[in-house]
Amino acid sequence: MTLDYIHRFVPARNQGEQLPTLLLLHGTGGNEEDLLGLGSQLLPGAALLSPRGKILENGMPRFFRRLAEGVFDVEDLQQRTEELADFILAASQEYHFDPARVIAAGFSNGANIAASMMLLRPDALYAAVLYHPMVPLIPDPLPDLTGVDIFITAGRNDPLIPVPETERLEQLLQQTGATVETHWSESGHSLSNSEFRSSKEWLERVLSAKKM
């Protein structure tokens, strides 16, 4: 396994806290710098691992190909999901963090591949914050995600992701046994202040409950 993604890694500020590592996954057109500020505020002091998506769509980085707006290239998605999960393991060896204690925070395309990892590589992530995700794919059989905590945020005025799509993802993840909480805002396809605050409060509750 190699570190075959352009990426940024920010070490944990206080090793004694033993906080999980945050995997930051940008949206279409973003890069490895985009979510570093969000990550440092979401879980202060935690190590941050932020890769850049390998796929270019009209010059804009993404984590996997799509055939049209909202229509994913499932074969490519599966391949890229496996690559990203392997990258986390390689990075854990390089940077000396626990691969069993990685929490994803992804927006849009980044949230979609995070959801795909939970469905295809259920051991890759400990928990996830999914900002404006869609259903990436439906594996058969579904994995067992009992004990995994997932937070979804969605906008009722999101022009790219209809309300039923978010509800479909929520139901799919619940079928795996995951504990899913969804926060709705009136926003469009963007991360609102209320979404960030609610995700930060959720993460604090989850980590406190797990005594991490």
Which spans in 63-192 are helix H?
74-95, 109-120, 163-175
- From the list 50, 92, 108, 185, the catalytic residue is 108
Q: Measure Cα distances from 119 to 143, 175, 196 in Å.
A: 6, 11, 24
In the residue annotation, 158 being an active-site residue is answered as yes
Instruction: Please give the Cα distance from 187 to 172 (Å, whole number).
Output: 23
| Cβ atoms within 10 Å of 3's Cβ, excluding its own | 14
Is 26 a known active-site residue? no
Contact indicator for 133, 107 with CB cutoff of 8 Å: no
Number of neighbouring beta carbons within 10 Å of residue 68: 7
**CA-to-CA distance for 158 and 162, rounded, in angstroms?**
7
User: Which position among 7, 76, 189, 190 bears the catalytic label?
Assistant: 189
* Residue from 132, 158, 185, 199 carrying the catalytic annotation: 158
Rounded Cα distance between 127 and 179, Å, is 10
Distance CA 98, CA 88 (A): 10
Q: Between 74-95 and 109-120, two packed helices, what is the crossing angle to 10 degrees?
A: 80
Hey, which residues are catalytic here? Answer: 108, 158, 189
